[in-house]
Structure 1
Amino acid sequence: MSGEGDHSDSTQMRLAAVVIAVAMIGWIVLQWIGKEYGWAPRWVFLVDLAAIGGFVWSLLVTWRIWRRKNG
């Protein structure tokens, strides 16, 4: 049973890592596109909020896995 939980945890950690990477790369690219095309600040702020959402989600997933392993 422990092996199954470890597999689930590693899958969730991998997903969290992918979300962090995509959020960061997407944020950088969309900031650059916004600057090039002169997007209104409210749209650029929306991109910021989406990136923050991805980071917070990844943090919560990582924290939950850490608590499960240490608690």
Structure 2
Amino acid sequence: MAPDKDSRLAKKARLVSLVIAGTMVLWIGAQWVGSTLGLTTRYAVLFDLLALAAFVWALIVIYQIWRARQSS
């Protein structure tokens, strides 16, 4: 595999790891703030759906990285 391609895949992998970690921290924080402030469950579901969207995006990018590494 070319060094340029390796560095691009490594950059993508770092971005995915930051998105996953950041999503978990923000999701846990949103759940805590929601329960502390007594927000309705509609907001909890909204936070859950936003976190789910971030995880689906991360899964798609991880699959792309995996496919790129398999093809070379």
TM-score tier, shorter chain, comes to: over 0.9
Deviations 1:31-53 (Å, cap 9, x if unpaired)? 00000001111111000011111
Matched, 1:13 2:13: yes
Q: Distance in 1 between matches of 2:42 and 2:23?
A: 18
* Structure 2: unaligned runs, 5 residues or longer: none
Trace 1:39-58 onto structure 2 (pairs within 5 A).
Answer: 39-58=39-58
In the TM superposition, structure 1's runs of 4+ consecutive aligned residues that sit over 4 Å from their partners are none
* Structure 1: unaligned runs, 5 residues or longer: none
Structure 1 length normalisation: TM-score?
A: 0.95
RMSD of aligned residue pairs (Cα, Å): 1.1
Deviations 1:18-66 (Å, cap 9, x if unpaired)? 0000000000010000000011111110000111111111111011010
Identical columns (%): 38
Structure 2 length normalisation: TM-score?
A: 0.94
The count of residues paired between Structure 1 and Structure 2 equals: 71
